Amino acid sequence: MSHDSAWYEIRLQGQLHPRWASWFDGLTVTSAADGTTVIHGRVADQAALHGVLQKLRDLGLPLLSVARIDSDPAKHSTPGELS
């Protein structure tokens, strides 16, 4: 378990408007073609990750997956790779 910052990818059921990026402290909000949304970016530590998850809970959006990913943002920001 790392206590340092890391890149995470969180997948949700439903399409979230990009305006929500600010709500998630600057994480990237991307809609995928399959009707899901991916939120990804660097979170400071585990506490920050749980903060993001709590905000998702507060919106009532079903959570599909949470994964730690490589640190290369470009690799994960194209919608094509997400579906």
CB of 69: closest distance to another protein in angstroms? Answer: 23
Compute the distance between CA of residue 7 and CA of residue 71 in angstroms, rounded to an integer: 6
**Terminal Cα-to-Cα distance of the chain (whole angstroms):** 28
- Residues of this chain, 23-52, that bind another protein according to CB under 8 A: 23, 31, 35, 37
Judged by CB under 8 A, which of 1, 4, 26, 60 binds another protein? 60
Residue 83 near another protein by CB under 8 A: no
- Of positions 14, 64, 67, 73, contacts another protein by CB under 8 A: 14
Strands ordered across the beta sheet of 28-31: 28-31, 36-43, 6-13, 63-69
